Structure 1
Amino acid sequence: MFTTLILPIAPIFLLIVLGHLLRRGGIPSMEFWNLNDKLVYWVLFPCLLFSKIAATDFSGVHLGGLAAVVYSGFGAAVLFSLLLFFLFRTERPLWTSVMQGCSRHNTFIALAVGEQVFGSEILSTAALVTALLIPITNVVVVCLMATALAKKDGGNLFVSVFRDLARNPLLLAVGLGLVFNFFGWSEVPVITDMTAILGAAALPIVLLCVGANIRIKAMSADVKATILCVLGKMVVFPAAMAFTGLAIGLEPELFMAAMLFGASPAAASAYTLARAMGGDAPAMAGTVTIQTALSFVTMPATLLLAQYLIGG
């Protein structure tokens, strides 16, 4: 059973390894990878989210139950990181990286694994999970980091936070997708086809970028913090999701879509945010690198356990 999940996931992680090897070899160039990150973040991935959310049929979806499962995992991870702060009196920059490592998810890997293991039909459901998680994750993480690190813009913390959220392309894509879905504009000529084509290119390219952003040297960063982040993201987060999903009897397809995000490693963009806002960037890079490597084993194990729990 474990092998049946490992084999579909293996190509995903081979793409990640390939991206890392290409960057280290300077192929095609370091400038290419820096620009590719921006292309994925500002164009390709927003198009994927928009096209999937705009076309998803929400009728009959137990949206309240799915939201409860998703938010229970995220909330448990954030509370776990807060508990760590009070228990270990962690320095604030390091704590913000621990908090990100516990609570942020790699949407790209979750979607790629979902498509590879369960087929493309799960992408619409997974995009719905993304629509629920991305806004709350960005709002809570940015607000907590800004508060902990006392980052203010002209003396007004809320202006800084609102500005960062208002220009987030993923949030904008989710919002536009929901608007188009609400008005039934899922088949708009040219726009629908263009975003679908660009979205189809997102997952393979972004997996190469994930690998290109892995920093092996950063793995020597704070060991205790990294272990706690692994525990928070790969145990607390999915365990809370599974408990809530089973308690409310969430439908199997929705349950497995949610567990994809609970089992995924921390997002590579957490390093960028840590560096930009004054968090502990080396610790964040180490956490992302180690979680990404471990997820090759932990993701299939978590999904296999989830299937067993729902009798799949």
Structure 2
Amino acid sequence: MLTTALAIAPVFLLICTGYALRRGGIPSEEFWNLNDRLVYFVLMPALFFVRISEADLSGEGLLRFAGTLYAGFFAAVLFGVAAALWLARGGAVGTSVIQGAGRFNTFVALAVAEALHGAEGLQLAVLGAALLVPVVNLTVVSLFAVFLPRPGGRPIRGALLSLGTNPLILSILAAIGFNAAGLAPIPVLSGTLSVLGQAALPIMLLCVGASLRLRGLTADAAPVALAALGKLAVFPLAILAAASAFGLAPLPAAVALVYGALPTGVAAYTLSRQLGGDAPLMATMITVQTLLAFAAMPVWLTLAG
């Protein structure tokens, strides 16, 4: 376990560095806001396109990998739904519990997979993101429509429209198209996007840290605890069970478990604000789970080994 903890320690140290830099005003608040956009609109789509367009998307192994990831995600979401109904604190709190239990920080997944398993691990983590990101977003937006119905459904339609223009999803779809047509790698373009993709991991980890809020966090402990239980216990347990049931190979199973052991993602806070969820509660969940993941992730990854 110590070896695993040391391997992923630089990932969390970069997150802490991002937090410290932003709180210290280095270089400026505007820099971090613009950096988030750089990662979201340029660096991550470049990384996704290069890795997916040149990956092997055929074979039974990919189906088993997908089945394992979906089993973990939907098990955690179902736990979140059950917890939200049991708490009976209203739709805003309920949607935060569901997101806290089922969503994950893709940026951290890519960095941890590369730290532990090198280029092959990063490739699998990118494929995992391609499989999960569209499904996760559609599932969560649909549950918002159930728990927080709005007259006319305008916020939900706006969220669905934003999914259709999401640069990560668009880059995934474009990469799959080029892969299927056998057009990748593309001379010059693929090389340029590969260089941009190499810059993505360290910058996005700094941005994850910069987005954390440790001051002024106030929230009911029960929803925070239940969301953490779903994300850091139910999700990885379901991944382990599914990987064993599907006979998944060791490396894909280990990368799938990385997704299971991740804290919930910063995008959950944005969606809560957009669709009328409890955004302060969501911010608390993100921060608490990020801190807990320091301890939980080495345990789960050691169990996988």
The bucket for the TM-score relative to the shorter chain is over 0.9
**Aligned AA (2:191):** D
Given that 1:33 and 1:209 are in contact with CA atoms closer than 8 Å, whether structure 2 keeps it comes out as yes
| Alignment correspondent of 2:22 | 23
| Alignment correspondent of 1:127 | 126
1:59 deviation in Å?
Answer: 3.8
1:148 deviation in Å?
Answer: 2.0
Q: Give me the whole-angstrom Cα distance separating, in 2, the residues matched to 1:85 and 1:104.
A: 15
1:42 deviation in Å?
Answer: 1.1
Q: Give me the whole-angstrom Cα distance separating, in 1, the residues matched to 2:46 and 2:81.
A: 34
Query: Residue 232 and residue 113 in structure 1: after superposition, are their counterparts in 2 closer, same or farther (change >3 A)?
Result: same
Between the aligned residues of both structures, percent identity stands at 47
Q: 1:135-156, CA deviations, whole angstroms, 9 ceiling, x for partnerless residues? A: 100101112113322246x556
Give secondary structure in 1 for the equivalent of 2:215: helix
**Aligned AA (2:42):** V
Q: 1:183-237, CA deviations, whole angstroms, 9 ceiling, x for partnerless residues? A: 1122101210111111111110010000001000254322111111110000001
Q: Give me the whole-angstrom Cα distance separating, in 1, the residues matched to 2:156 and 2:266.
A: 25
1:300 aligns with 2:298: yes
**Aligned AA (2:134):** P
Q: Give me the whole-angstrom Cα distance separating, in 1, the residues matched to 2:292 and 2:156.
A: 37
Given that 1:219 and 1:290 are in contact with CA atoms closer than 8 Å, whether structure 2 keeps it comes out as no
Aligned 1:161-180 pairs, distance under 5 A:
161-180=159-178
**Aligned AA (1:96):** T
Q: 1:283-305, CA deviations, whole angstroms, 9 ceiling, x for partnerless residues? A: 11011001111111111111110
| Alignment correspondent of 1:186 | 184
Query: Residue 132 and residue 142 in structure 1: after superposition, are their counterparts in 2 closer, same or farther (change >3 A)?
Result: same
Given that 1:151 and 1:277 are in contact with CA atoms closer than 8 Å, whether structure 2 keeps it comes out as no
Given that 2:46 and 2:194 are in contact with CA atoms closer than 8 Å, whether structure 1 keeps it comes out as yes
| Alignment correspondent of 2:11 | 12
Q: Give me the whole-angstrom Cα distance separating, in 1, the residues matched to 2:179 and 2:69.
A: 21
Q: Give me the whole-angstrom Cα distance separating, in 2, the residues matched to 1:218 and 1:100.
A: 21
**Aligned AA (1:202):** A
| Alignment correspondent of 2:199 | 201
Given that 2:64 and 2:246 are in contact with CA atoms closer than 8 Å, whether structure 1 keeps it comes out as yes
1:161 deviation in Å?
Answer: 4.3
Q: What number of residue pairs does the alignment pair up?
A: 305
Give secondary structure in 2 for the equivalent of 1:150: coil
Given that 2:52 and 2:175 are in contact with CA atoms closer than 8 Å, whether structure 1 keeps it comes out as yes
Given that 2:84 and 2:93 are in contact with CA atoms closer than 8 Å, whether structure 1 keeps it comes out as no
1:159 deviation in Å?
Answer: 3.8
| Alignment correspondent of 2:236 | 238
Query: Residue 156 and residue 271 in structure 1: after superposition, are their counterparts in 2 closer, same or farther (change >3 A)?
Result: closer
Of 228, 235, 255, the match for 1:257: 255
Give secondary structure in 2 for the equivalent of 1:137: helix
| Alignment correspondent of 1:35 | 34
Q: Give me the whole-angstrom Cα distance separating, in 1, the residues matched to 2:166 and 2:150.
A: 18
**Aligned AA (1:232):** G
Unaligned stretches of 5+ in structure 1?
308-312
1:67 deviation in Å?
Answer: 1.6
TM-score (norm 2): 0.96
TM-score (norm 1): 0.94
Of 265, 275, 278, the match for 1:277: 275
